[in-house]
Amino acid sequence: MAALDGLPPLRDVIQRHGLDAKKALGQNFLLDLNLTQKIARTAGAIENHTVIEVGPGPGGLTRAILALGAKRVIAIERDARCLPALAEVSAHYPGRLTVIGGDALKTDFEALAPGEPVRIIANLPYNVGTQLLVNWLLPKTWPPFWDSLTLMFQREVGLRIVAEENDDHYGRLGVLCGWRTRAHMAFDVPPQAFTPPPKVTSSVVHLEPIPNPLPCDVASLERVTQAAFGQRRKMLRQSVKSLGGEALLARAEIDPQRRAETLSLDEFVRLANAL
């Protein structure tokens, strides 16, 4: 049965182009166009946006983003085997899909669509997903070049992104995301929705930038979160000892007997600013 967008079903595309999934590239493909549309819809209005997608693979999510009316899509795919399949999608939507063959970790995202409103939507390869997110959270300037990030991660990573204090998943990633964005879990996706199925459940997370985050030096925030969560079961007087210990905590007006995971975002910012 042909898909609703008039392009061939993804299963056929994968077979015709010999796109058997490679584990090293984190390839778990989504073939259900209802599900890929649900992910694309989570991003909000995209008609006036350039959507940047990482890892389009055979193009399931790309097709959903285009069918939902994105003004333009720029997709970065590392696996050259996928490029002919993506060229067919590009031909079906003239002038709206640009595919860049290359490594997303080496891509200058800010330079892809300068001056245009951007949303990033991706079913991320598990091995580079967290690094890409951190890069997008730490661009040269803030507010960032993107209006939103709608990203699929392993559920465990999703929980770390949205975690707040007094949550076992709270850590460096939760502090960074909480400092600069409003992040929420949109929905879970079970392993059997993918081909091949991964071992664990995945989650779609949506993040929007806070225009004016609390003033704080990124490097200092990284240092305090790394030290504090590096020994998360220990009292702060011990875990941040190398950064100044009790004197630092006194300057930040934080009880040295507390543990990292009880500190709110504001308190982490205070600690970073006291460094």
Name the minimum Å distance from CB 57 to ligand SAM. Answer: 3
Q: How far apart are CA 55 and CA 75, in angstroms?
A: 7
Looking at beta carbons only, is 105 or 200 nearer to ligand SAM?
A: 105
Check residue 78 for interaction with ligand SAM (CB under 6 A).
yes
Backbone angles phi, psi at 64, to 5 degrees: -65, -40
- Does the annotation list 168 as a binding residue? no
123 is in an annotated binding site: yes
Tokens at residue 223, please?
Answer: 């240092």
Beta-bridge mates of residue 215:
none
Counting contacts by CB under 6 A, is residue 54 touching ligand SAM? yes
Among the listed residues 65, 76, 151, 263, the single contact to ligand SAM using CB under 6 A: 76
Q: Distance between CA atoms of 244 and 229, rounded to whole angstroms?
A: 16
Angstrom distance (rounded) from CA 117 to CA 119: 7
Nearer to ligand SAM, 127 or 242 (CB): 127
- Report if residue 30 touches ligand SAM, rule: CB under 6 A: yes
Tell me which residue has its CB nearest to ligand SAM.
Answer: 55
Please give the backbone phi and psi of residue 105, each rounded to the nearest 5 degrees, phi first. -70, -20
# binding residues, ligand SAM (CB under 6 A)? 23
60 close to 83: Cβ distance less than 8 angstroms: no
Q: Which residues, numbered 107-126, are part of the site for ligand SAM (CB under 6 A)?
A: 123, 125
Integer Cα distance of 47 and 33 in angstroms: 19
For 4, phi then psi, to 5°, come to: -65, -25
- Is 79 a binding residue for ligand SAM by CB under 6 A? The answer is yes
In the complex, least distance from residue 126 CB atom to ligand SAM, rounded to whole angstroms: 7
Structure token pair of residue 183: 């992040």
Specify the stretch interacting with ligand SAM by CB under 6 A; choose among 48-56, 111-119, 142-150, 235-243. 48-56
For ligand SAM, which is the closer residue by CB, 111 or 141?
111
Distance of alpha carbon 57 from alpha carbon 48, whole angstroms: 24
Tokens at 174, concatenated = 């939760």
Query: Does residue 71 contact residue 50 with C-beta atoms inside 8 Å?
Result: yes
Distances from the Cα of 68 to the Cα of 83, 85, 193, angstroms: 22, 20, 21
Binding to ligand SAM in span 123-152, by CB under 6 A: 123, 125, 128
The reply to whether 28 sits near ligand SAM by the rule CB under 6 A is: yes
37 part of the interface to ligand SAM, by CB under 6 A? no
Residue ranges that bind ligand SAM, judged by CB under 6 A: 25-30, 54-57, 60-61, 76-79, 82, 103-105, 123, 125, 128
The annotated binding site for S-adenosyl-L-methionine is made up of 28, 30, 55, 77, 103, 123
